[in-house]
Structure 1
Amino acid sequence: MSSALILHHYDFSNYSEKVRLVLGLKGLTWRSVEIPPTLPKPDYIPLTGGYRRAPALQIGADVFCDTARIIEELERRFPEPTIYPGPDSVAQRAFTAGLERWTDATLTRNTINYISCEHSDADRFTPEFLADRAALLGKPEPGLAHRKAAAIKNLTQLRPQLSWISDILHDGRTYIYGEAPSLADCVIYHPLWVMDQLAGERAAVIPAVIRQWMERVAAHGHGNPTSMTAHAALDVADSSDPLPPLPSQTLDGDPALGDTVSITPTDYGRANPSVGTLVAIDAQRLALQHRNERTGLVTVHFPRFGYSVRALDG
């Protein structure tokens, strides 16, 4: 059984950057598998049972999807140094979870929509990429006139959010919660970082006080990654056994353990669910198992929040 951390990601994925930052804060050694940013993903989907979004963290034959579930697992396995520093880590954990819902959804949507419309000629925005993202979001691909209008619309929403972050940092603190870096820094950093990545230059809209904080966060790096091929990662899964499922607490309306289910994001990417046998479920987490000829038996883990689980007929 392999205990190596294998991150399936791509370079300009802001959600992958959030996880890479946590790996850096913890000083962890990990294997890096670069996956395509667009479909098809023939060496990734066999691991996840159908789920297409990045990143995913593979540990042997267990695959953790969604940054919330990935980071929860990293903190459980490697509690020191903690990503919740300070005397009241329980309250900080809850507050950061709420903060993350804002940055993962609203802030990320505004930063990406603004920069993709303002810099629609940047190298990242190939026709294949734009078509893939339109399909992922279930929307038509916008024309040039629409993009310019959308850039202005998103900038008006982005400016007040940038002012909130500036207000947090105005007292000269080193990090969001004070002198120690935390998950809060990672969850605010990644939607701002992606603007530079997509535009191919430093986004002028980011104020200097935020830029200085971003440089301090980035200085922690990404831990100690080494490259790994996707085929080698599939071989690791095939030669490993999944860990025993976590204890379950089935709630009203939940499918039963052993049912064939689909687990689907509730926001976007709903056309690409993960499908398999439900092996664990409670108020916080979901897990299913599926078997693929390239991976053998794999357990795929999700957070409960942000995902729906549905029993499939037959």
Structure 2
Amino acid sequence: MSDLILHHYPSSPFSEKVRLIFGFKGLAWRSVHIPAIMPKPDVLALTGGYRKTPFMQIGADIYCDSALIARVLEARQPSPTLYPASAPLAVPLAQWADSALFWAAVTWTMQPAGVSHLFNNPAPEVMKAFGADRAAFTGSMRRLTLADATAQLGSYLGSLAAQLQQQGGPWLFGGTPTIADFSVAHALWFIRRGGPVAEIIGRHAGLNEWLDRVLAIGHGRSEPMSSAEAIAVAAAGAAGGHAFCEVGAGLGFEPGQAVTVAATDYGSDPVAGTLVGLSADEVVVRRTDERAGTVHVHFPRIGFQIKKEQSA
């Protein structure tokens, strides 16, 4: 049985990105379905406050953010690679897709026709609960208007279609998929789930065919797992140690400092703990939960802020 545990829910776009990467790398994994909205007590037991979806667990190590998860899976299974040397712009394109393209896609899809299709004509109380959760989740973040999203999305999709045509290959950077294909695909996958609003993709030559190719990769091999079982895995794994990490010199922090780590865009609930790992790419905090035991929670540096605290 695989030690890779993905905590996700079926309609989560960033989860679809990671599920497709599992498929691309031919990896087996265990699937824990989590709630789409708060409360999420089992999630918080593992992450300490981070509530974006998905996150990945390996024993008592918790990996937050799909960009970091992709790097961990690349280290686990280097071939086929997500980061070919022939496509140095794949990573910044993926970062753009995970932010600007994603929010334009979400705003476009969440217009009434898309919502009705996504939620199968939801009851008013369902949408009220979902809306309240997402309002708290995005906080003071400035959201696009539908008019702005429409204009931006049309421009973005046109550029992606032109990139595919110019490359002449089946993928965004030619003959092989990269991290950029998976980051772009999850945003377009969400639009396609919106039913009638998905016609915007078809306006741009080649995009539907490219999206079909990405989604045909599939999700690899998964087995269901309960959140209680995952918490027990973390508690047992803590006794066996954690993935190696250390606090690098000259980065402004010292090992053992009390810190908080929080996303800088949305879902910015801080995670408090003791600093045990820091590099140019990753920050790791140690925290203890009465059920999950002592876990190490990993975050990427891009998109997250570290702050020193008075006590852990």
Runs of 5+ unmatched residues, structure 1: none
Q: How does 1:78-93 map to 2 (within 5 A)?
A: 78-85=77-84, 88=85, 92=87
Q: Which amino acid aligns with 1:130?
A: G
Q: Does residue 1:162 correspond to 2:157, yes or no?
A: yes
Q: Which residue of 2 is the match for residue 275 of structure 1?
A: 272
Write the distance in 1 (CA, Å) between the matches of 2:128 and 2:142: 10
TM-score by length of 2: 0.90
Instruction: Please show how residues 166-185 of structure 1 align to structure 2 within 5 Å.
Output: 166-171=161-166, 172-185=168-181
> 1:11 is aligned with what amino acid?
P
What aligned pairs does 1:1-314 form with structure 2 within 5 A after superposition?
Answer: 4-85=3-84, 88=85, 92=87, 94-119=88-113, 120-124=115-119, 126-139=127-140, 150-171=145-166, 172-197=168-193, 199-200=194-195, 203-207=198-202, 208-241=205-238, 242-252=241-251, 254-270=252-268, 272-314=269-311
Deviations 1:238-279 (A, max 9, x none): 111342542321435x33211121100011112x11111110
Question: How far apart in 1 are the matches of 2:23 and 2:56?
Answer: 15
- Partner secondary structure for residue 39 of structure 1: coil
Q: d(CA) in 2 for partners of 1:139 and 1:177? A: 36
TM superposition shift of 1:196: 2.3
**Structure 2: any 5+ residue segments left out of the alignment?**
none
**Which has the higher mean CA deviation after the structures are superposed, 45-54 or 131-140?**
131-140
Q: Secondary structure at the match of 2:11?
A: coil
Give 1:84 deviation, angstroms: 2.8
RMSD, matched Cα: 2.2
Q: Secondary structure of the equivalent of 1:192?
A: helix
Q: Is the 8 A contact 2:6 2:30 kept in 1?
A: yes
Q: Distance in 1 between matches of 2:270 and 2:282?
A: 16
Q: Distance in 1 between matches of 2:142 and 2:177?
A: 39
Residue identity over aligned pairs, in percent, reads: 38
Asked if structure 2 preserves the Cα contact closer than 8 Å seen for 1:131 and 1:141, the reply is no
Moved more, 240-249 or 100-109: 240-249
- Residue 47 of structure 1 aligns with an amino acid whose one-letter code is L
Residues 263, 304 of structure 2: 8 Å contact kept: yes
- Taking structure 1 as the reference length, the TM-score comes to 0.89
